[in-house]
A and B are shown apart, each in its own frame.
Chain A
Amino acid sequence: MPRRDDIHTILILGSGPIVIGQAAEFDYSGVQACKVLREEGYRVVLVNSNPATIMTDPEFADATYVEPLLPAPVAKIIERERPDALLPTLGGQTALNLAKALHDDGTLERHSVELIGANYDAITCAEDRELFADAMATAGLEMPESAIATSMDDAQEALPRLGLPCIVRPAFTLGGRGGGIARSEQEYEQIVKRGLEASPIGQVLLDQSVLGWGEFELEVMRDKADNVVIVCSIENIDPMGVHTGDSVTVAPQQTLTDALYQKLRDQAIAVIRAVGVETGGSNVQFAVNPSTEEILVIEMNPRVSRSSALASKATGFPIAKIAARLAVGYLLEEIDNDITGVTPASFEPTIDYVVVKWPRFAFEKFPTASPTLTTHMKSVGEVMAIGRTFSQAFAKALRSRELDKPPVPRACSDEELLAGLETPTADRYEAILELLRRDVGIDPIHARTSIDPWFLRELERLAKDPQAPFAGERSFKSVDTCAAEFPARTPYYYSGWERKATHEVTRGERQSVVILGAGPNRIGQGIEFDYCCVHAAMTVRESGRDAVMINCNPETVSTDYDTSDRLYFEPLTLEDVLGVIEVEKPEGVIVQFGGQTPLKLAAGLVEAGVPLLGTSVEAIDLAEDRGRFGELLERLGYQAPPYATACSVAEALEKAQDVGYPLLVRPSYVLGGRAMEIVYSSDGLADYLRREAPTGDDKAGHPQGLQSQVSGEPGTPHTAPETQARPTIFLDRFLENAVEVDVDALCDGHEVWIGGIMQHVEEAGVHSGDSACVLPPHSLGEEMLEQIRAATRDIALGVGVVGLLNVQYAVHDGRLYVIEANPRASRTVPFVSKAVGLPLAKLACRVMLGERIATLELPTGHEGLGFGDHVSVKEAVLPFDRFDGADSVLGPEMRSTGEVMGIARDFPTAFAKAQAAAGSPLPRSGTAFITVTDSDKPGAFAVAQILHDNGFQIIATRGTAEAISRMGVPVLPINKIGDGSPHVVDWIERGDVDLIVNTPTGFGARTDGWEIRRSAVAHGIPCLTTLSAGVSAARAIAQAIKLGEPDVLSLQELHSGAHASPDGAPVA
């Protein structure tokens, strides 16, 4: 059947900010869909609030809206754009839920928009656990004994039948948020309560436990003629009980007999038919009891997912691309498999290698949160590795994780380690490998983890001889979907080790440029960097060279084989990268776009004689070495906050005196302000140093290398911080109540061009990655802006940057201080590019390839403030709701997982949009609770005043209440927790609070504030933890009340008038 021509305009919903459970995989899927649908001649309208996505680059859609993924704004977009169809299956849970809402509130019907891909009934059937259970029963498929509860009473009633442990899963939440495993009656109550709160429809599914059964996923595709194929089977090495997103998984499945696997296959097909997904991909999860061969259906996702992205990268079968074609009427047999070019997509990929996926965790950022792995997802990213054998892939995956420190099992006796295995944690595999090395055998481990013996035997061999998988010669083989039965056209490679090297790389004659990716998403290094790498690839191709991508993150656009001329799916360690360089012989390597990851390799590459493009290693070091950078600033006549570096605890305590308190302390060479804290006294400092045992002092405690040994790479760069004899502690004078400013600039070594100047909403002290920022700055005078531009120019030239530079400043008492300079693409590059309508990363790449800024024909009169009359606000999105016990107060250590952008004609409206997009829409009425530190009390009244004038009831704790009423604003004083009930937390729990402004009352004594913020997070109430954010919020609310639902404007409209960008496209 041909493509549908009864539809012309198709609306695609993105998945919004990167959050745990929804990451870059949806940018990857969305980009593929946009490309395909436009190739097919459809008009594509895209909505996504996440500026760091490739899909929101204007050239990927006909109309691109960076707006909150909420019914109201999207309804406005539908009114303006009049799409014929809405494709909701590419934006994860967010898009599905939003599509559902737009159907329920009648918007879709009113504008006669058809849901394609998955229709309304299929979505509800798959997402509503009760309907799903019925559908499975009708199809004769088994599920775990279960009950649906919408109240605690339902839950209590069901317990006797289900027994403990019991699995609690909220309906319609992402990655199982709010769910868990109840092992005792008390836990049962807690988790059910939490689950009911977390579920948007107040519903939880209570499942009888099948903990320890094998967990399998099948990726299924169906076309509208009811042809079904299984793209890939995925086996979770961690059995049932650890969320698939947190499990180490392997493709294809390893342990099932053909007979049993075919049963799974039959059932997966039965599921997609029963749910009624007419076209596209679905992910079906099963629990399998290997000894009884019982199979239970766990769930299905009627959309592309994290697993489908993984399956696409693992097999070369582009699920999202094909799903998009199916959605507009094609049949599988009518679509080409672009890897072979000669066979149709109506087949099942077969592979002749093994793929291992490893989650990347961030527990170190949430010390107070529980580190156990359970049924709700906690990992922030993942890596994938391909090898010819399981052990090759597993070891490559280990080293791909790029941990700051290889986790070393704390407990040391066999007994302790074994006991530790009973509850799954992020470092369980390190413990398992350690035990296997000690020869405890696989049985005691199997007994505690239920991990299939086959995997344990493989790990045992690996533990005993970490180098074994890498015997022989590195051999680059291609991913071809067909185990070499047909020649592959698509150059997508991985390294295996064979007796003799038999490279399959077809290099061609053209010069190539290697772009090093950013590796796993993690807090501090996210999708923004992948965005830049993709732009680099585009630019290199446009320059007539071959773009060669090296990366190991399966979620990303950079690891789509369409993005570059050759893709090497490899770990980003020096050894692995040099392996690629050996066969590629590139003209140069780009290390500037992948965040800290490639930067760490720069020196090693140069030593190995590899030419770098752009900023030299020498210059990188000049910017990153505190000492040398300090001297440079002095020479240039700019100020840095007083600072010192120390190599030992003693030295730190001593030098702290000269620098002066308050101090900002941190270990060296870390991204995202890892372990960065503000200390107010020498006691505070001593305490910090005790907790964050500086690496220098505890080297002994870290026998170098469990992890690096097993990954077959002694002393890989990811352990560099430990192995370098550099200062290990940095002490900076902490500038209180300073305004922080971020600048992204472009330099060709002779000339500097200011890309964008961003003023932070929160004051310095809140990590740049966690604070909201606005472009153009909303309260810096032109004189200060000039100083900032001048300083940026001098620093860029002084350092010798060729490419991008990011400088962070603090404006304190009207004085400009330089906080740091990063000689690379920064987290804010995508945001700035979209705000000013110029593709910073592409421009930088052209400079690195030899062009001069002068020849880039950059528009003038911009001065880092953007064009036109719009204001752009970036807001960070934080994962506190996933880590019970984590404090949501912002600090110098970055903890956000993603970001959103709000664009409007004025700052308050843009800020309001950003808040809404970030998941905490500001209220328009109700009760505002204010409690602030003494230093903030004078300012608190301003917030109260605005809110009061706009009809809010103001409540506050006694001290704050006095400060406010003294200024004549009516306020109701309420109890602190200490004063007894009804106290503030009771108010919040009762749902009587709609907005919270709570600045931490001094450091240390946080208990009350902590409780407040926790319940705010639990109940999803907007909670601002700095006064500046509080003021902005109040002004935003006032503006929203005055103007009503804000207008929506596409990026194309926004930038068309403004200017034409160098490469034609308004923005890129």
Chain B
Amino acid sequence: MSTRDAYVLLEDGTRFDGESCAAATHAVGEVVFTTGMSGYQESVTDPSFAGQLITFTYPHIGNYGVSERSMESERVWARAAIMREACNNEDSADAERGWLDWLTDCEVPAISGVDTRALVRHIREAGAMRGGIFPGEITEAQAQALIAAEPSMAGLDLASVVSPTTASLHGDGDGPLISVIDTGIKLSIVRNLIDRGARVVLHPCSTSAQDVLAEDPDAIFVANGPGDPAALDYVADTVRELVGKKPVWGICLGHQLLCRALGLETYKLPFGHRGANHPVKDLQTGHVEITSQNHGFAVLGPGGARTLDTNEPVRWDTDFGTAQLTHVNLYDRTVEGFELLDVPGGAVQYHPEAGPGPHDSLHLFDRFLARIAEAA
């Protein structure tokens, strides 16, 4: 691993120096941060990070290397890793390869030695923005040009980039058949469904409602994924055609898309939720769960409210009847989940499948399958 001068530059001109520690190229995109203290490999392989450069707030990244079983998809989707103290050790029991060697193999650039806390504080104040990491020899002017050339996240369809081109079946259990609109699903979600006996068909997100209905699934699942839900009306329209005909469930981007299909609005959060420690209250059990989060957009509450000032299961009127709030974020009181009362369906904004993060919400998959059974 060679270390060379490199720097992070944000579109507002803010600069942080470091050394490049993986692929010797530059990368531009939206600069975001995640506060999880472990699970770096899961994060960079999570398709939801497509088009983004991940700043890890935890300083030591790479401590236990990388391994096949920590993959959340078949490749790295994040554009780059921004770190305070990167590590390439291979001698952890779990390591099949060193973290930085692996990134290099995957041609993903990374930077270390950055004052990531200062960077995060800047993003917290100024909001997530475009930026990039650049080898020292690229001048700031050149860098600014590269950043400017990069479209901003709002209005960006990245799902089509991460979505599969053909449908595929997974699992051979005797549980329900679930058709997934794959806007960039994480393997942990597929695993959680299959482990509970489900058979899962992953469809390209450009799939049509007809194709999906043709295989007569027991339920539809709208996956997590990257980018702006507002740019995915073609997916929302597909979903709209499915709601009412089949139970429709979703996670993260899927939550946003289902809402848009129901006629509800989404908006961009100042700097998103990314981490493994957000408290979410489950209004059905009354329990507070520590959740894994990774989203930059959110759903507006009833009456277009960005935040909810109650823990009551408030309701929306949707094009498909009433929707009822099931989960609320206790950090910033944004919408974290809802269920439909008149037709089968619902979704959560956070990541019950963890990977990385706490397991408090794994039981949601049981609830989800139970609802499918009820609907059948």
Query: Which residues of A does B touch, CB under 8 Å?
Result: 225-227, 229-230, 252, 254-262, 265-266, 290-291, 293, 332-333, 343-344, 346-354, 388-390, 453-454, 457, 475, 477, 482-487, 498-500, 502, 504
The answer to whether B288 has its CB under 8 Å from any CB of chain A is yes
B279 contacts A257, C-beta separation under 8 Å: no
Q: For A260, list chain B residues within 8 Å (CB).
A: 94
Of residues B69, B117, B281, which shows the largest number of chain A Cβ atoms within 10 Å of its Cβ? B117
Task: Name the one of B37, B330, B355 contacting A344, with C-beta atoms under 8 angstroms.
Answer: B330
B120 contacts A483, C-beta separation under 8 Å: yes
Known A-B contacts: A256-B64, A390-B85. Give 8 more (CB < 8 A): A252-B58, A257-B64, A290-B93, A333-B330, A388-B117, A483-B117, A486-B124, A487-B124
Shortest CB distance A740–B (Å) = 53
Q: For B359, list chain A residues within 8 Å (CB).
A: 262, 265-266
Tell me, in angstroms, the Cα distance from A189 to B322 when the chains sit together: 73
Task: Name the one of A262, A485, A487, A498 contacting B115, with C-beta atoms under 8 angstroms.
Answer: A498
Tell me, in angstroms, the Cα distance from A261 to B40 when the chains sit together: 13
A453 contacts B38, C-beta separation under 8 Å: no
Which B275-316 residues sit within 8 Å CB-CB of chain A? Answer: 275-279, 281, 286-288, 290
Q: Closest chain A residue to B287 by CB distance?
A: A227
Tell me, in angstroms, the Cα distance from A258 to B255 when the chains sit together: 25
Q: Closest chain B residue to A499 by CB distance?
A: B17
B115 contacts A502, C-beta separation under 8 Å: yes
Which B231-284 residues sit within 8 Å CB-CB of chain A? Answer: 275-279, 281
Shortest CB distance B99–A (Å) = 12
Known: A257-B38, A389-B85, A483-B35. A348 touches B57 (CB 8 A): no
Known: A258-B357, A483-B120, A484-B57. A347 touches B89 (CB 8 A): no
Q: Closest chain B residue to A471 by CB distance?
A: B113
Give 9 closest A-B pairs by Cβ, nearest first: A258-B39, A483-B57, A258-B356, A258-B38, A348-B277, A290-B93, A453-B91, A291-B93, A483-B35
The answer to whether B168 has its CB under 8 Å from any CB of chain A is no
A484 contacts B117, C-beta separation under 8 Å: yes
Task: Name the one of B18, B67, B124, B354 contacting A484, with C-beta atoms under 8 angstroms.
Answer: B124
Query: Which residues of B does A touch, CB under 8 Å?
Result: 17-18, 35-39, 42, 57-60, 63-64, 67, 69-70, 84-85, 87, 89, 91-94, 113, 115-118, 120-121, 124, 275-279, 281, 286-288, 290, 330-331, 354-359
Q: For A255, list chain B residues within 8 Å (CB).
A: 63-64, 92
Of residues B36, B91, B120, which shows the largest number of chain A Cβ atoms within 10 Å of its Cβ? B91
Of residues A255, A290, A349, A483, which shows the largest number of chain B Cβ atoms within 10 Å of its Cβ? A483
Tell me, in angstroms, the Cα distance from A502 to B42 when the chains sit together: 31
Q: Closest chain B residue to A446 by CB distance?
A: B91
Shortest CB distance B329–A (Å) = 10
Of residues A354, A454, A485, A500, which shows the largest number of chain B Cβ atoms within 10 Å of its Cβ? A485
Q: Closest chain B residue to A344 by CB distance?
A: B330
Shortest CB distance B229–A (Å) = 23
Tell me, in angstroms, the Cα distance from A665 to B69 when the chains sit together: 66
Q: Closest chain A residue to B17 by CB distance?
A: A499
B330 contacts A343, C-beta separation under 8 Å: yes
Q: For A256, list chain B residues within 8 Å (CB).
A: 38, 64
Q: For A254, list chain B residues within 8 Å (CB).
A: 60, 63
29 example contacts (A-B, Cβ-Cβ < 8 A) are as follows A227-B288, A252-B37, A255-B63, A257-B67, A260-B94, A265-B359, A266-B359, A290-B93, A291-B93, A333-B330, A343-B330, A347-B277, A348-B358, A350-B57, A352-B57, A352-B84, A454-B64, A457-B91, A477-B117, A482-B277, A483-B57, A483-B117, A484-B120, A484-B121, A486-B331, A487-B124, A498-B115, A498-B118, A499-B115
A258 contacts B290, C-beta separation under 8 Å: no
Q: For B330, list chain A residues within 8 Å (CB).
A: 333, 343-344, 346-347
B63 contacts A350, C-beta separation under 8 Å: no
Q: Closest chain B residue to A331 by CB distance?
A: B288
B93 contacts A346, C-beta separation under 8 Å: no
A257 contacts B358, C-beta separation under 8 Å: no
A347 contacts B331, C-beta separation under 8 Å: yes
Q: Closest chain A residue to B18 by CB distance?
A: A499
Prevailing SS type, chain B contact patch: loop
Shortest CB distance B134–A (Å) = 16
Shortest CB distance A278–B (Å) = 15
Q: Closest chain A residue to B94 by CB distance?
A: A257
Tell me, in angstroms, the Cα distance from A260 to B115 when the chains sit together: 28
B290 contacts A347, C-beta separation under 8 Å: yes
Shortest CB distance B78–A (Å) = 16
Prevailing SS type, chain A contact patch: loop
Shortest CB distance B55–A (Å) = 10
A258 contacts B42, C-beta separation under 8 Å: yes
Q: For B276, list chain A residues within 8 Å (CB).
A: 348, 350
Q: For A346, list chain B residues within 8 Å (CB).
A: 279, 288, 330
Shortest CB distance B71–A (Å) = 12
Q: Closest chain A residue to B56 by CB distance?
A: A352
Shortest CB distance A334–B (Å) = 10
Q: For B278, list chain A residues within 8 Å (CB).
A: 347
Q: Closest chain B residue to A389 by CB distance?
A: B85
B331 contacts A333, C-beta separation under 8 Å: no
Shortest CB distance A189–B (Å) = 37
Tell me, in angstroms, the Cα distance from A230 to B118 when the chains sit together: 26
Q: For B288, list chain A residues within 8 Å (CB).
A: 227, 332-333, 346
Q: For A485, list chain B residues within 8 Å (CB).
A: 35, 57, 120, 124, 275
Tell me, in angstroms, the Cα distance from A936 to B339 when the chains sit together: 87
Tell me, in angstroms, the Cα distance from A354 to B277 when the chains sit together: 18
Tell me, in angstroms, the Cα distance from A172 to B92 when the chains sit together: 37
Tell me, in angstroms, the Cα distance from A693 to B38 when the chains sit together: 50
Q: For B69, list chain A residues within 8 Å (CB).
A: 259
Known: A258-B39, A346-B288. A352 touches B117 (CB 8 A): yes
Shortest CB distance B292–A (Å) = 10
Shortest CB distance A330–B (Å) = 13
Shortest CB distance B91–A (Å) = 4
Tell me, in angstroms, the Cα distance from A262 to B277 when the chains sit together: 12
Task: Name the one of B35, B67, B115 contacting A482, with C-beta atoms under 8 angstroms.
Answer: B35
B287 contacts A349, C-beta separation under 8 Å: no
Q: For B18, list chain A residues within 8 Å (CB).
A: 499
A350 contacts B118, C-beta separation under 8 Å: no
Tell me, in angstroms, the Cα distance from A258 to B115 when the chains sit together: 24
A259 contacts B70, C-beta separation under 8 Å: yes
Tell me, in angstroms, the Cα distance from A229 to B278 when the chains sit together: 11
A352 contacts B279, C-beta separation under 8 Å: no
Q: For A257, list chain B residues within 8 Å (CB).
A: 38-39, 64, 67, 70, 92, 94
Q: Closest chain B residue to A233 by CB distance?
A: B37
Shortest CB distance B136–A (Å) = 14
Q: For A225, list chain B residues within 8 Å (CB).
A: 286-287
A502 contacts B60, C-beta separation under 8 Å: no
Task: Name the one of B92, B113, B354 contacting A454, with C-beta atoms under 8 angstroms.
Answer: B92
Tell me, in angstroms, the Cα distance from A262 to B286 when the chains sit together: 23
B59 contacts A354, C-beta separation under 8 Å: yes
A347 contacts B115, C-beta separation under 8 Å: no
Tell me, in angstroms, the Cα distance from A481 to B182 when the chains sit together: 36
Shortest CB distance B22–A (Å) = 19
Task: Name the one of A262, A266, A453, A483 contacting B89, with C-beta atoms under 8 angstroms.
Answer: A453
Q: For B94, list chain A residues within 8 Å (CB).
A: 257, 260, 290
B357 contacts A454, C-beta separation under 8 Å: no
A389 contacts B279, C-beta separation under 8 Å: no
Tell me, in angstroms, the Cα distance from A745 to B100 when the chains sit together: 63
Q: For A227, list chain B residues within 8 Å (CB).
A: 287-288
Known: A333-B281, A389-B84, A484-B121. A500 touches B115 (CB 8 A): yes
Q: For A258, list chain B residues within 8 Å (CB).
A: 36, 38-39, 42, 70, 355-357
A454 contacts B281, C-beta separation under 8 Å: no
B92 contacts A290, C-beta separation under 8 Å: yes
B277 contacts A350, C-beta separation under 8 Å: yes
Q: Closest chain A residue to B88 by CB distance?
A: A457
Q: Closest chain A residue to B286 by CB distance?
A: A225
B38 contacts A261, C-beta separation under 8 Å: yes
Shortest CB distance B165–A (Å) = 30
Q: For B113, list chain A residues within 8 Å (CB).
A: 499
